[in-house]
Amino acid sequence: MNVALQIRETPGGMVQAEALLAEFGKLLASSLDYEETLAGVAELAVRFIADFCIIDLLEDGAIKRQQAAHADPLKADLTRELLRFPLDRTRPHLSREALETGKSVLVPEVSDQLLRQMTQNEEHRRILTALDPRSFMAVPLLARDRLLGVVLFVSSTRTYSQSDLLLAERLVRLAALEVDNARLFRESQQALLARDNVLRIVAHDLRNPLNAITMSADLLRSDRLTPEQRDQQAELIGRSARRMNRLIQDLLDVGRIESGQLHLSRVLLEPARLVEEIVELNQSLAKVGSLSLRGEIHEELPKISADRDRILQVFSNLVGNALKFTPPGGEIVLSAAPFGSMVRFSVTDTGCGIAPDDLSRLFRPFWQAERQQRDGLGLGLSIAKGIVEAHGGTIHAESCPGRGSTFWFTIPAVIPPRGGERRHGPSDRRASLTSSPG
């Protein structure tokens, strides 16, 4: 007989319910591991109030089936098969209403028609039919005014009532706090690990130029150097010091962006002039790498209100990556064009491209796809993203491995161009700036 039914029919039911809640809380508090806490919630649910339990979590707007348990060990594996089916938020499923409203849902009887509506596909329907859900409750995991997910209590033997729902809600309230505590603990541990990684990377990347400065300083004390060699060592010290300063400035920029204190000195700017300037600044580097550097500028561009130095910094980061990862004989194209109420700037190269799995991580601080080629902290794209978003724009990357990449960002126009967003074809009027391999 189900525990909830026992509680309802026993004269000391309230006392037993409080005892169960106390045991539930004690067991939940025994671990600060995120996955262990959720597994404990599912196992305790099938002990106390359900024949089987499923926990769906919200992660970055998507639903993830995190845990599943069954009171019958012979059906446990079948229940866990439900974790293989991703849920479509646009289609009916058992958790949908609770996820959308943040309120508990009680369905006393699951009809055959409802079961058909709640299945994602034929295989999903086969498993649910075998588990024979007769009644279910969907209770949202709410902690600190945040919806974490939904706990599904499903019975195959009887009909749930309001008193069952009240007990389930009390259990889930306890669970939500422990789950959220476990989540916060995990995030704090990840933050500590990230801090240690940052310190390790910074120490490594500052040590190399510092060693170069130390060695050059020792050589300058020698009487055996010619004037030309002394000049070379002095230049090496200057380059190393500038590299150290750039690394330090990158760290300071990340700190300002993350704290929301990035200062912008906005002025009216001509997008065409920005592209021209970046092409001019990088012509010599493109020629050294035997690359073609070309600018495409739409003739009908509105002005933007932006921090000139910061926008050039974004361009420098994007073009610097294009120069680094484009083989000799390749091409890099910088462009500016109207894009709805924005101006869209882009940097397109014919380089090695980016793996699909890496695209979503490109703009994370300290992340680099090619660690063996790195000559910085991996902050350039993260800083570019922060600068663009501080201007009210967005930044994106598109790539096909082996066929190059396009990085583009938008900045709001002072006076939006007429006609809204435009798709540009061969007939568009553009000015061209070209730097061919030398």
What tens digit of pLDDT does each residue of 400-423 get? 888 899 999 999 998 755 544 444
CA distance 313 to 310: 5
In 3D space, the residue among 279, 302, 312, 281 whose CA is nearest the CA of residue 413 turns out to be 302
Give how far Cα 153 sits from Cα of 51, 70, 341, Å: 8, 10, 49
Q: Which of 187-196, 206-215, 340-349, 361-370 has the highest mean pLDDT?
A: 340-349
Higher pLDDT residue, 345 or 123?
345
Q: What is the DSSP letter of 413?
A: B
Cβ(392)–Cβ(342) below 8 Å: no
**Which pLDDT band, with edges at 50, 70 and 90, does 365 fall under?**
low
> Quick one: what percent of the chain has pLDDT higher than 90?
29
- Could you tell me the pTM of the whole model? 0.52
Task: Check pLDDT > 80 for residue 77.
Answer: yes
Task: Check pLDDT > 90 for residue 160.
Answer: yes
Secondary element (H or E) of residue 334: strand 331-339
**Which pLDDT band, with edges at 50, 70 and 90, does 22 fall under?**
low
Helix, strand, coil share of the chain (percent; to 5): 50, 20, 30
In 3D space, the residue among 370, 387, 369, 367 whose CA is nearest the CA of residue 378 turns out to be 367
Compute the average pLDDT of residues 139-162. Answer: 90
pLDDT of residue 112: 86
In 3D space, the residue among 108, 124, 107 whose CA is nearest the CA of residue 116 turns out to be 124
pLDDT of residue 295: 93
